[in-house]
Amino acid sequence: MRWLLRGAWLALVSLAAAAERGAAQEPQLATLVQPLAFSWEACRARASSALKEQGYSGFLESGNGWTAHARGTSASLVCVPQSGRTVLVIVTAGAQFVKESRRLFEAIRGPESPPKASHDSTPRDASSDAAGSGWSATATTLAGHTGARFNFWCPPQGVPAKVWGDSVYAGESSVCTAAVHAGTLSLRAGGNAIIEILPGQPFYGSSTRNGIATLGGGPAQASFLVVKREP
């Protein structure tokens, strides 16, 4: 765990140093942490190749990985050795931060390591919105990243959107609104909502907490839980 936290910290430091952003601008980051059955050397090689294949440039080496830029997005990739495997930490910021995080992970993982996902049911009224920042953003397109964590930016003065579930939420739920329901942020202040992707479930319960009434229903292709920060 110490190596993992250090890897995530190195990724954040590298990204913050490389991204040219105003001090007053709110951070918009996506963080993906995923163990891979690759050696540290193979992880670094795959990370470098993935960045180049995806059109990234301006490479800065951070020891365990690289930081680079493309399409208005900055990405930092760090490979952390851990007990015979390697933990990949991807931190992206900018215009397409969530899309780029998924795109880079798919390129690094490759076709020989299929994701652990539940595709045995069709989601109800699946949202067509791309996952990202904003109160309408959902986790629908993150199906297949079971166990990975993502950071969504929820602007202040938010307008709540539909949420299905109670503690475990259907992927098509509003991530930011689910975070209010879970008690990790508020509509007025907004903030960063960190979620962990889970397999889809056949049914989701409902409840009212923190002024948010969720809906029951199902099934869905993916689920998520809101990660609560330690005090």
C-alpha dist (Å) from residue 197 to 68, 151, 209: 26, 11, 21
Q: Could you read off the pLDDT of 131-143 as tens digits, one per residue?
A: 467 899 898 888 8
pLDDT per position as a tens digit, 152-161 = 888 899 999 9
The pLDDT score that the predictor gives to residue 182 is: 96
Give the model confidence (pLDDT) of 30-58 as tens digits: 778 888 888 888 888 899 999 999 999 98
Mean pLDDT score of the chain: 78
Q: How confident is the model at residue 111 (pLDDT cuts 50, 70, 90)?
A: low
Question: What letter represents residue 148's amino acid?
Answer: A
pLDDT at 132: 60
What is the reported pTM? 0.52
